Each structure stands twice: as C-alpha cells, then as structure tokens.
Structure 1
C-alpha cells in the first residue's frame, strides 16, 4: 500500500510548480521523497497500489497488547464473577438495598389487597389496584436482581418488616388513608431510586445510571402523579357513597381504557 500526501489543489492542477509537498511511503518503509515548490497550501492523503506490512504507530489498534492488563484481571477462583467490570462494591450494596425497598413496598401493598378483599370491606376495585401494585413492585425487585447478576454482583436478600393489617382510619376512612399511604410509599421509592442513581454517578458507573433512568425514573414520576389524583378524588367524595363509586371506577378502569 502506497500512501501519498499532496497539496489539495494538486489534484486539479498538474503543473509541477504548484506542488508544495509530496511524501510517499514505499513498501520498503525507508524510501522517502520530498518534492518542494514555490506555492503550496493544504495537504491531501491518497492511496495507491503497493504493500506495506509495517503498522503505522499511533494508528493501528493492537488488541493483543491492550488486552494484557484485562487478561491478568480475569479471576480464576470459582467464587468470583467472570462478567464483573467496573462495578464497585458501593453500587452492589446500593442495588441490594433497592431490592429490599421494592420487596417491602410490595409486602405493604399485598397487605392492603388482603384488607380490601375482606367480605366486610368488599371494595374489589381497591383490592385489585393494590394487588397489581404489589405485583409490579415485586417485578421491579426481580428486575434489579437480574441486573445485579448481569453486572457480576451478588444478590443478598434482607429482612422484610411485617406490614399493617388494618387500614380503617377514624377520620379519613380506609380508602383515603390507604391511598395516602400508597402515595407516601411511591415517593419513598422514588427517593431511594434517586439515591441509587447518585451512587452510580459518584462511582462513574454509567451503565447503572442509565439502567435506573431508562427503566424506573419516568415510570415512578407517572405513578406519583396518578396516585396523587386518586387522593384528591377521595378527599372530595369523603367516606360515604362516593367511595363505592370510586372503587367501581378502579374495578372497571382497564375495561374503560380498552
């Protein structure tokens, strides 16, 4: 391969006096010819037939040289992850904490589902809403577990606190009280997600930060907005007959959307 560097206008003008500089590299690697002339501005690199087996320093990528450092870091003990790369202990611990948050919130929502599904409460729409919310939070926890394993971390499940079993509030009633509690839980989850994102940012873990942003943050903001509207509606209808209509709205919401 023969590389030439020549003035840009030399491609349009064949007169020798317009040549500023022509540098040719032959296949021998040592023959260098330099032609000078009066006027010259700008260079053009072009290729012609020939062969050159020697690499150009600073241009050719040498993977076998650059991979040596990574090759030395490949673990040999069976307990260590082979996939782990630039994944700090802080990020791993923060992920396990977030998994615990998701499971705890799921547990509380499941308790709410059980309460509203009782025969002496019988608010099937609220029961359906909190059951779906519990399943969603559990799915979030499992997705974090999958990501933890994908990055080479170890999932460490922690204790889950026993939730309330009664949600009937003397002043607010059960529907409004449970929905306000749900709003608080969603805001708490959002705060924990932002903390996880901050840990990833501090540790320059771009992949973890991107995962949290794309999979959770937008969805969390939308959930807070929706439950805020439910709280506002339940405050309007008070504890009486309006709660039943609100419950029916939740029960048939999926059908209405369809």
Structure 2
C-alpha cells in the first residue's frame, strides 16, 4: 500500500494537465564571490582569444572540406586540416573551462562566438597556398596569445598580476603554438621542394605522405 501511495505521489507531481505549459527554472545560487579575482581587462582579452580559436577552427574546417571535394581529391590535406580544426576547437573549450574554473565567464555564451561565424575563405589555388595561409593563421593566434600574456602579467591601472593564467597560457598554449608553426613551415618547405623537383605530381605525392602519416 505504501508503494501505491508513493507512486501516486510521484505521478501527481510529474503530471501536468493538458494545455498547461510546464516550466522549470533553477535560479542561480547566491554565494560570496571574493574568490573570483580575474582582472576585467584580462577576462575580456581571454574571451577574445576564445573567439579567435573558434575562428581558426572554422578556417581549418573550410580547408578540410575544400580538399575533400571530389573535384579536388586531396585526402591527405583534408585530414591535416580537419585535425587542425579539432585542435583549435579544443583550445577554445580549454579556455572556457579555465574561465569557469576561475568563476569568471560570460553569462551569455553567445558572446563567446565570433560574429558572423563564417570562414573568411572557401577556396585555395593549391596545397602550398593553404599551408601558407594556415601558417599565417597560427602566427596570428600566437601573437594574440602573447598579447594576452603581456596584458595579464602587467594589467593596466596598476591591477594585480594574474600569474596563474600567464603560466597556464605560456606552458600549455605557447609551446604547442610554436611547435605547430614549425611543423607547418617544414611541411610548406617540403611541398615546395617536391613540386620544384616533380612538377604537379609533387603535390599528389606530398598528399599521399600526409594521408599515410609520413610527414
């Protein structure tokens, strides 16, 4: 009998009469926030970096899709750029998770997305041009990370230094950026040499090496 009463109680709570709209809103808890200590200017710059990482991901996604076209058919290049798109998206997620850890992230998630959310380019003349554009994009991202580091280490208006964020960006992001730039520069040089030696077939051979993980 107790089971029946319990079932009826649960059913009564869960049941909503037809035509009645049910809404459930959990209000934010009111807690003390002295632990939220990121400087506003530093937070804003970090949010801009999130937008840049998402924008870079869109650029690489466009590259990957272009080289996957049946009329282009460069699966190695497509694989390279699709992987790069995943990495940039992961970087954006890591930065968002960091801000959440520090208790300082925008209430409106839409503000963390670049507007409009589009790729600036959809076609490339050849693989060398795409690698050159990718290297330029990485340099742009690296330069902005260094700017965030500089401004968070010595914030304006004599605000306190954010050594934790500076260390996080320097150790986790800059090292990967520099390695990525060197990798792209090396791939670009190798491709140029192969095209110079073998002509148009050089890009085909380079693509096969990319696909097989030999570069």
TM over 0.5: yes
Match of 1:197 among 134, 141, 149: 149
Contact 2:139/2:181, CA 8 A, preserved across alignment: yes
Q: 1:224, 1:218 → 2: CA distance?
A: 10
What's the offset of the Cα at 1:157? Answer: 1.3
Return the structure number with greater strand share: 1
Q: 2:73, 2:97 → 1: CA distance?
A: 37
Q: Secondary structure at the match of 1:119?
A: coil
Match of 2:121 among 126, 150, 164: 164
Cα deviation code 1:85-142 (max 9, x no counterpart): 3311011101100000000000000000000001111110000000000000000000
> Is 1:177 the equivalent of 2:129?
yes
In structure 1, the partner of 2:22 is none
In structure 2, the partner of 1:249 is 209
Return the structure number with greater helix share: 2
> Is 1:142 the equivalent of 2:71?
no
Normalising to structure 1: TM-score of the pair?
A: 0.64
> Is 1:234 the equivalent of 2:185?
no
Aligned length: 174
Q: 2:200, 2:84 → 1: CA distance?
A: 25
Normalising to structure 2: TM-score of the pair?
A: 0.76
Q: 1:189, 1:246 → 2: CA distance?
A: 26
Higher relative contact order (CA 8 A, sep 6+): 2
Give structure 1 regions of 4+ aligned residues with deviation exceeding 6 angstroms: none
Q: 1:167, 1:80 → 2: CA distance?
A: 52
Q: 2:170, 2:74 → 1: CA distance?
A: 35
Q: 1:81, 1:183 → 2: CA distance?
A: 45
Structure 1, unmatched stretches of 5+, are 1-76, 169-173
Q: Secondary structure at the match of 2:124?
A: coil
Match of 1:108 among 39, 59, 77: 59
Match of 2:167 among 210, 223, 229: 210
Bigger Rg, which one? 1
